[in-house]
Structure 1
Amino acid sequence: MEIQRKAYKKLLEWKRESNGKTAMLIEGARRVGKSTIAKRLGEREYRSYILVDFNNASKNIIENFNQNLNNLDVFYQTLSLEYGVQLFNRESLIIFDEIQQFPKARQSAKYLVADGRYDIVETGSLISIKENVQSITIPSEEQKLKMFPCDFEEFAEALDQKVLLDYIKKCFDEQTALDEEFHKKAMHLFREYMLVGGMPQSIVAYKENQLSFFESDKAKRKIIELYKDDIKKASKRYSSKVSAIFENVPGYLSSHEKKVVLTEIDDSQNATFSRYDEPFFWLDDSMICNLCYKCNDPNVGFALNKNESSLKCYMGDTGLLVSHAFSENEIASEELYKNIMNGKLSLNEGMLYENVVSQMLCSKGRKLFFYTEYDRSSHRNSMEIDFLLSNESKTKFKVYPVEVKSSKNYTTTSLLDFKKKFGTRIGQCYIIHPKAFSKRKDGIICIPPYMVMCL
């Protein structure tokens, strides 16, 4: 089964526009499909290709980088002989896979691009942590492509639902609701996406086993174990902290405020965010998790007003969150999936809804920010906005507040208060809920979660 990825079109654009002038670095979480898409590019768009996997590169290959970069004729000859592949000038692709395992290969892109004989693609995760960049000069000739788990559109197309996707987009453009029958069908598809997630191995296991959530779960648990192994290999300075945060992600998201509370994992007096900046950076850089920071003052450039001591930590893939949060026994009975598919898991569904929206926004290239306002008299938040989007304009800046509601009954007090407080800064206000599209008298647009892809 082949899953069509949007990233492939971006690789084709790079090949056409770069014409060998830059290397392409595909970064993303492990098992997100980086190697697969790079090989697909080599197979379909080039006369030949070589993939150098630095997880198991031979001693001969490592010595080639250490000894022959000053003589590229010998360097490429060694690659060609080692892999038994003939290389053709401007018609071959060299793929450096898992490049974080050998940072020197990443640095070499500067010389290989200048030489210009072949196109260079690198794939990797954790490419920015100190251990992987401290001894190299990062080449300016490097173009980056972030690769996320399959988004809702890619998932729907993999399940042969292209016609339904087109209908959803048409209705959003026309600001109208889907017919009730198709709304139910789209919500069913969205809940499938929420449970299976966007990891290619999970989707393949689900579809090729007669839509089996159980088989999907087995694939996801293997990925989670891989992530845990990667965390153990993190720097000894902070690997235990990374592990503690990762294990507690479901707990944070199941709480009312969904914010990270360090005292839940570190009851010492040293449980401060300044001591956890590297662990959070590791999880963010690995793209295992998506961090969402509080914005103290929603204005031009959210990042300029972000509060780094108040954040939410979402899983990069909601399907993985489901398998991470619930035991194998709970999932093996399939009662859990049955309840979620029927919209009856009220205790945890809010956690899953908010996480999947964060995932869908990140896949569109958005940084995540939220807003809260604390009322000292009542000792609680008087205003909570789940996500802040903007039109990214410097001269006509507008904030688009987004509230996520997993149930059909809810209040809009926070959204209306936020709109009143910030006045002319506010653009369109959105509520994401399980009901069909509607536009309220106060101007708030309510959309079902399958329309988030259209925002």
Structure 2
Amino acid sequence: MRRLIDDQLDAWNNSTHRKPLVLFGARQVGKTYAITHFAKRSFANMAYVDFSRDEQASAIFDASIAPADLIHGLESLLRMEINAEHTLIVLDEIQLCERALTSLKYFCDDAPQYHVIAAGSLLGVKVNRSKYSFPVGKVDMLTLHPMNFEEYLWATNEQRLADDIRQAFTQPDRPFTLHDRAMDLIREYMLIGGMPEPVNAYVNTDHTLQYARTLQRNIITAYIADMAKYSSARETQRIVEAWNSIPRQLAKENHKFQYKTIRPGGRANAYQGALAWLVSAGIITRLTQVSEPVTPLKAFEDSSAFKIYMADTGLLSCDYDITPTDLIPADNKASAFRGALNENYVLQQLTAAEIPTYYWGTLNRGEVEFIARDHDGNVIPIEVKSGHNVTARSLTAYRSKYQPAYAIRLSAKNFGIEGDLRSVPLYAAWVLAEHMQHS
């Protein structure tokens, strides 16, 4: 599968200031595949170590973390020659070996000629919860997210359609002729999501949803099993409870996260740690409210008011047990979960582009789903609508009060423009994110 991170890995490899790379990302987002694919494209061979499977590897790092000693030890363990120019050294599941993580500092300082990538599914959790000596300033860092819609189109052999959508975004006053086809595919993506294994299964089993759903449930089961790692039994229970509450949180009219929705009487002091674990594991995204949409947005952040979304929309639709017919547009048809699913999808596209995103407003005065800065520094409101009814009093109120440079309305409608309001179809949310990311 082609992934957006391929270009980032190439840029890292070609950088004259390259440091050892730490690749973050949730379990099953495709980290190992992306690294292996990169190694095949760019190196003669790969020295691969998985600390979850090979105890002897940990022993090598326990003995010494001097690069020369490590290279010698890895050559003996893997029965191969490690060449600084032609070999990619991969340290997978590195969170299981603290000495290996520390060694990255010495590769940076004493042996920068070697190409080293470290990865781990729960690396963020381990680093945040243990007294790890993380090599700050001595490593480059990237995060692999679930596949965005463009990557999904690549996987389904729709590269040309992806290019056409990008081109259509640059002509907002002209309807896109392939709108209906693109809407069919975005509904498909809402079901399958961006986890590579379900996507691959769906593509290669004549688009059979049932098998993809089985794989999605397996991923969720693996996530829940992971929640017992680096946590006490009581804390594990709270992490699981917080995770299981997300579909209920998003089904409410007000999607603001409420601890009492986890369980009656639930309080912040009991569940804040659980949410931090889920964020560190990369399986949820926390969206915080801003009191005023003014730069810098972080200065107006209200950390007590937030929403929680799943990192992958396909896993959310699996939790809801959504079927294709549930996504057919109809007035008042399952509107609560469709709204939640669309918001989750849009945030997934923004997160994949690493756009810092917030929301504005309250239930009383109306809410704008997303607030973000574009590449020119403008604070832009992004309204998300589930169907063709795009009346939005909250966005109208926002535009009247703050007079943004322009506003975005994402919906099932085609491209269009009315003054400073741009209508963008849901399937082009990834292009919007790309536009906000780059000048």
8 A contact 1:126–1:282 mirrored in 2: no
Corresponding residue for residue 436 of structure 2: none
What is the DSSP-based 3-state SS (H/G/I as helix, E as strand, rest coil) of the residue aligned with 1:149? coil
Return closer, same or farther for 1:132/1:15 CA change in 2, 3 Å cut-off: farther
8 A contact 1:49–1:85 mirrored in 2: no
User: Which of residues 397, 410, 413 in structure 2 aligns to 1:435?
Assistant: 413
How far apart are residue 313 of structure 1 and its match?
0.5
How far apart are residue 277 of structure 1 and its match?
3.0
How far apart are residue 28 of structure 1 and its match?
0.6
Q: Percent identity?
A: 26
What is the DSSP-based 3-state SS (H/G/I as helix, E as strand, rest coil) of the residue aligned with 2:317? helix
Corresponding residue for residue 339 of structure 1: 326
- Aligned equivalents of 1:256, 1:177: Cα separation in 2: 34
1:397-448 Cα distance to aligned partner (Å, 9 max, x none): 522101111021142211111111223xx121111111111222x5311111
8 A contact 1:126–1:132 mirrored in 2: no
Corresponding residue for residue 289 of structure 2: 294
1:156-198 Cα distance to aligned partner (Å, 9 max, x none): 0111111211221111101134445x11100011111111101
- Aligned equivalents of 1:18, 1:276: Cα separation in 2: 44
**1:386 pairs with 2:353:** no
- Aligned equivalents of 1:179, 1:122: Cα separation in 2: 43
**1:239 pairs with 2:219:** no
Aligned residue runs from structure 1 range 1-40, under 5 A: 3-18=1-16, 21-40=18-37
User: Which of residues 395, 404, 413 in structure 1 aligns to 2:393?
Assistant: 413
Corresponding residue for residue 404 of structure 1: 384
Q: TM-score, normalised by structure 1?
A: 0.89
Corresponding residue for residue 313 of structure 2: 318
Aligned residue runs from structure 1 range 240-389, under 5 A: 240-268=237-265, 271-272=267-268, 274-326=269-321, 336-340=323-327, 345-373=334-362, 380-389=363-372
What is the DSSP-based 3-state SS (H/G/I as helix, E as strand, rest coil) of the residue aligned with 1:338? helix
User: Which of residues 409, 418, 429 in structure 2 aligns to 1:452?
Assistant: 429
User: Any runs of at least 4 consecutive aligned residues in structure 1 with deviations exceeding 6 A, and if so which?
Assistant: none
How far apart are residue 232 of structure 1 and its match?
2.2
How far apart are residue 243 of structure 1 and its match?
1.2
Corresponding residue for residue 49 of structure 1: 46
8 A contact 2:390–2:411 mirrored in 1: no
How far apart are residue 75 of structure 1 and its match?
2.3
- Aligned equivalents of 1:229, 1:398: Cα separation in 2: 42
Corresponding residue for residue 100 of structure 1: 95
Return closer, same or farther for 1:347/1:422 CA change in 2, 3 Å cut-off: closer
- Aligned equivalents of 1:341, 1:383: Cα separation in 2: 26
Letter in 2 for 1:142: V
How far apart are residue 266 of structure 1 and its match?
3.9
Letter in 1 for 2:422: I
Return closer, same or farther for 1:195/1:341 CA change in 2, 3 Å cut-off: farther
Aligned residue runs from structure 1 range 77-116, under 5 A: 77-113=72-108, 114-116=110-112
- Aligned equivalents of 2:152, 2:290: Cα separation in 1: 32
Return 5+ residue gaps in structure 1 as ranges.
374-379
- Aligned equivalents of 2:124, 2:283: Cα separation in 1: 14
**1:73 pairs with 2:60:** no
Corresponding residue for residue 227 of structure 1: 223
8 A contact 1:188–1:341 mirrored in 2: no
Corresponding residue for residue 62 of structure 1: 58
Return closer, same or farther for 1:73/1:104 CA change in 2, 3 Å cut-off: closer
Letter in 2 for 1:361: L
What is the DSSP-based 3-state SS (H/G/I as helix, E as strand, rest coil) of the residue aligned with 1:259? coil
How far apart are residue 124 of structure 1 and its match?
1.8
Q: TM-score, normalised by structure 2?
A: 0.92
8 A contact 1:316–1:359 mirrored in 2: yes
8 A contact 1:293–1:312 mirrored in 2: yes
How far apart are residue 317 of structure 1 and its match?
0.4
What is the DSSP-based 3-state SS (H/G/I as helix, E as strand, rest coil) of the residue aligned with 1:66? helix
Return 5+ residue gaps in structure 2 as ranges.
433-439
- Aligned equivalents of 1:280, 1:17: Cα separation in 2: 36
What is the DSSP-based 3-state SS (H/G/I as helix, E as strand, rest coil) of the residue aligned with 2:304? strand
Return closer, same or farther for 1:353/1:137 CA change in 2, 3 Å cut-off: closer
1:119-173 Cα distance to aligned partner (Å, 9 max, x none): 1001123334456551324242211111111111110011111121122111110
How far apart are residue 347 of structure 1 and its match?
4.4
8 A contact 1:24–1:143 mirrored in 2: yes
1:12-45 Cα distance to aligned partner (Å, 9 max, x none): 11111146x4011111110001111111122221
8 A contact 1:103–1:132 mirrored in 2: no
Return closer, same or farther for 1:291/1:131 CA change in 2, 3 Å cut-off: closer
- Aligned equivalents of 1:313, 1:362: Cα separation in 2: 13
8 A contact 2:93–2:123 mirrored in 1: no
How far apart are residue 216 of structure 1 and its match?
0.9
1:237-282 Cα distance to aligned partner (Å, 9 max, x none): 63222211110111111111111111122433x613x543322222
